[in-house]
Structure 1
Amino acid sequence: MNTLAHANPHIARRVDSARLGRLAIASLHAELACAPKPGLVTPFDSGSHDDMDAGTFLRSLFALRHYFTAIASAGADDAPFAALRAHGLAAEHAMLRATGGINTHRGAIFSLGLLVAAAARCRRQQGHAAPAAQVCLAVQHWADDFAAAPLDASSPGQRARLHHGVPGVREQAAAGYPVLRDLAVPTLRHALHSGLPRDAALCQTLMQLVAQVDDLNLLHRGGADGLAWAQQQARSFLAGGGAFTPGWQARLHALGEGFVARRLSPGGSADLLACAWFLLQQEGA
């Protein structure tokens, strides 16, 4: 932090908010750039998607570039959830305008937005970056409010959640994101500390998520059978050593052909992967 920012707490908060906003966008870009990812959009292919490609995602990220800074500022100011929700709704409209109505980042707008706000609020209270697990738990500060906020019952994710009786992103957030605290962040941290390059560590973490999460995108596209098939494929990849073994990219690419043939896409897991990367990066920022 520069001297001026250190001397003026308002400037310091703006600097921190801008830094967290950039980290959030960079985390979503890291998820996009990571390859191979079964069924998901990468810079090299569109996976199981006919209506979007990497360019669609980049237009969305450009449209969202101010959202994460704004919601970080709101979190640092201890704004009520209504203010955070207003930022999220405006971001969703900006995304849809940029993509021609295609939903690229709705889940990330909610989950990553809450985590960015929580990280900023922790920094304001403590004067330094908080550990990833603490940031996840800090989201519970707004739990009563977002649990009571209106839901879009027509969205594919909500329809799948209700039909299959599995928790969605709101339930995960209200619980302090245990899937991030107990699975994604520890997996990613271990992979990086073990010397895996970023993309390998991200792919390893993604497949752990696919193996263990009831991904609403998989349920929407493939039903319970599609989810079970995807989870079994991910478990087989991990049982064979995952990204820690030579030739893992070819194995994961071949596995991805099966996802594409079945039109399966673990988009919920991809959102959680971006959140996990953000949580680790903000610890050192």
Structure 2
Amino acid sequence: MRPLILKQALHESLNPLANAQKTIRDSCLLALWHELITFPKPGLVSLEDSGSHSDMSASHFSSSIFALRFYFYQIAEAGSRGLKFEVLRELGVSSEQRMLAATNGRNTHRGAIFNLGLLAAAAGYQLKNNIQLKSLGEIVTELWGEELIKHQRSTESNGFKIFKKHGTGGALSEAQSGFRTVYQIGLPAYRKLLFQTQDLELARIHTFFKLLSVTEDTNLLHRGGLDGLLFARNEALSFLHEGSVLNPDWQQHAVSIHHKFIARKLSPGGCADLLGACLLIDYLDLTLDV
């Protein structure tokens, strides 16, 4: 058995595509970890506190991230072969089961399994086929866009209920658009602030508030209705208009908003997922040569 394992390890070390899939996996895990440790993110779990989630902690999220390590490798490999969305969906469902087992039933990363999974699959396809002129978002819509449109939402999900009530598509619509919010809002904000400050955490915080100011976050709608969404957007706009993280008093303002979200039990998990997608795309751009 041991020689077989060594032979497989040697094969992978000599296989550029396998190494690229490991890089995609590692970039996904790093994006999730950096999203988790970013503070403050109003209402959300971090290493500092549990935000608006009395049933979750950072340890649940870190356990979940570890449990997802094989999924991101698998879906990058499946994407490299251009497999159907149904195959990717089945991988996602299996990974959700591993997530729930690792967190004792807490839904820590269902949105990230969907968003980052599709982007990882697109990255695998991009590398396998040496595609240089298309973004990962464009590859997602080209390969799986029609299947995403046909994809049936679960009538039991919060996302479906929000869609029926408010007409807001959430993560599914974002993916169908080729991750428009990520590419048009999140990534430019992240890269501009990072260029200005050379500070990764400040760039992540600024990007989160930028996303919060524009995103129709279905988690906010589920917890606080339209009033909750508008409140969250106004708080984010106030933070941005006062200079965001370039204001000397930014931290006090951001923490104050965080506590307001906790008091209202608001949790913009959709924005956290979009931040993770921004980070993943940026990391892949830095580490992978197509």
Q: Same fold (TM over 0.5)?
A: yes
- Alignment partners' CA distance in 2, 1:158 and 1:27: 27
Match of 1:4 in 2: none
The amino acid of 1:220's aligned partner reads: H
- TM-fit CA distance, 1:55: 0.5
The amino acid of 1:63's aligned partner reads: A
Match of 1:29 in 2: 33
Gaps of 5+ in 1: 1-6
The amino acid of 1:183's aligned partner reads: I
Match of 2:108 in 1: 104
CA contact (8 A) 1:64 1:91 kept: yes
Gaps of 5+ in 2: 1-10
The amino acid of 2:285's aligned partner reads: E
- TM-fit CA distance, 1:172: 1.3
Superposed CA RMSD = 1.9
Match of 2:44 in 1: 40
- Alignment partners' CA distance in 2, 1:279 and 1:245: 27
- Alignment partners' CA distance in 1, 2:14 and 2:161: 43
The amino acid of 1:170's aligned partner reads: L
- TM-fit CA distance, 1:162: 1.8
Evaluate the alpha carbon distance shift between residue 52 and residue 8 of structure 1 in structure 2; reply closer, same or farther with a 3 A threshold.
closer
The amino acid of 1:251's aligned partner reads: H
Q: Tell me whether 80-89 or 147-156 shows the greater mean CA deviation.
A: 147-156
- TM-fit CA distance, 1:153: 1.8
Match of 1:190 in 2: 192
Match of 2:233 in 1: 231
Match of 2:140 in 1: 139
1:116 aligns to 2:117 (yes or no): no
- Alignment partners' CA distance in 2, 1:262 and 1:8: 50
- Paired residues in the alignment total 277
Matches within 5 A, 1:225-264: 225-264=227-266
The amino acid of 2:139's aligned partner reads: A
- TM-fit CA distance, 1:151: 1.9
Q: 4+ runs of 1 displaced by more than 4 Å?
A: 7-10
Evaluate the alpha carbon distance shift between residue 235 and residue 79 of structure 1 in structure 2; reply closer, same or farther with a 3 A threshold.
same
- Alignment partners' CA distance in 2, 1:70 and 1:220: 32
- TM-fit CA distance, 1:9: 11
The amino acid of 2:265's aligned partner reads: R
Match of 2:97 in 1: 93
Identity %: 37
- Alignment partners' CA distance in 2, 1:149 and 1:179: 21
Match of 2:221 in 1: 219
- TM-fit CA distance, 1:146: 2.6
